[in-house]
Amino acid sequence: MARYAVRCPDPGGRGRQVKRTTIECDGLAAFLSPGPRMALERDSSESGTLEFTGTRSYAEAVQIMRDGWPAGAEQARALSAQLAAETADSLTCERPAPVWDVAGDDADVARFLEGEPENMVAWMPEPVPAAGRVVRIVLAGWVAWSVGESDLQRAAVMMAAAADALEARGVRVEIVVAYAGAWGSTMLEIRHRLKAAEEPLDLPRVVAGMHPSAFRRVAFRWMETMPDLPAWYGAGGTITTAEGDVVLDIMKLSAIKPEARVAWLKQQAEAVLGIPA
């Protein structure tokens, strides 16, 4: 786990300097080690309700993170399979490949001189699998208090299904969940790398890392290590991204209706694989 702070201009454009603290959690053990609570009057990580967080306690949230969320993984697999059934032949790239015949676009002089009758070349599209490509998906995990816990569960399932669909086609996926908040002159970003590109996709564990309690209990506990945390726990901030990242917003995912989920997944897979939608 790495923690570092810098002074930087206020992204809100108010002409002041703010302190931006970034916490990098490379794996589950680091994410589940926030340290002592410094904002002693702030205890939402413990007192949050089942209806708000999806768990009865902080300890239950930690248990889900460690053991995985089988029900969420089952839903993600079903959604991924539904996507595969609708797009089995389309989620590949194409490249031109030579086909020799008696007629074509170009002459193959060497074959002509050898007396080969099929000495003309036509260039035909050839499907190319996506195997070997590496993609980093960054989920902006900060969400408003008004968003329902069940909506957040569906968003987690969609994100996991997107990763499952890409990995099933040979794309190696890295998954980072980033929670960015701001209050006063403080900006805080907590980054949890759920999966490295070279790791196999452990779907129950990955979907558990995006469970509502990952934000509303574990990330809240990280926020409670900040002594100046306000009672309202701040507002959403700006996450750090790099060129090539596929950035998804859990607020937007949570608003997608169940009947539109497969269409959304297809759109993400097409974008990653470089196929026009």
Q: What is the pLDDT of residues 136-157, one digit of tens each?
A: 999 999 999 999 999 999 999 9
Q: What CA–CA distance (Å, rounded) separates 185 from 110?
A: 72
Do residues 137 and 178 touch, judged by C-beta distance below 8 A?
no
Q: Radius of gyration (Cα) for the chain, nearest Å?
A: 24
Sign of CA dihedral 128, 275, 157, 237: positive
| C-alpha closest to that of 175 among 219, 150, 210 | 210
For the question of whether the overall pTM of this predicted structure is more than 0.85, the answer is no
pLDDT 10s digits, 189-199: 999 999 999 99
Q: How far is CA 158 from CA 68, 133, 152, 206, 270, in A?
A: 16, 21, 10, 12, 15
Do residues 99 and 122 touch, judged by C-beta distance below 8 A?
yes
DSSP letters spanning 77-99:
HHHHHHHHHHHTTTSSEEEEEEE
Residue 160 has a pLDDT of 94
Residue 277 has a pLDDT of 34
pLDDT 10s digits, 216-264: 999 999 999 999 999 999 999 889 888 888 899 999 999 999 899 988 8
Q: Give the residue ranges of the chain where pLDDT is below 50.
A: 275-277
Do residues 180 and 239 touch, judged by C-beta distance below 8 A?
yes
Do residues 17 and 185 touch, judged by C-beta distance below 8 A?
yes
Q: How far is CA 145 from CA 38, 52, 92, 206, in A?
A: 22, 8, 39, 23
Q: What CA–CA distance (Å, rounded) separates 214 from 115?
A: 70
What's the CA angle centered on 99, arms 93 and 100, to 5 degrees?
170
Residue 12 has a pLDDT of 64
Coil vs helix vs strand at 66:
helix
Q: What are phi and psi for residue 148, nearest 5 degrees?
A: -70, 150
Residue 274 has a pLDDT of 53
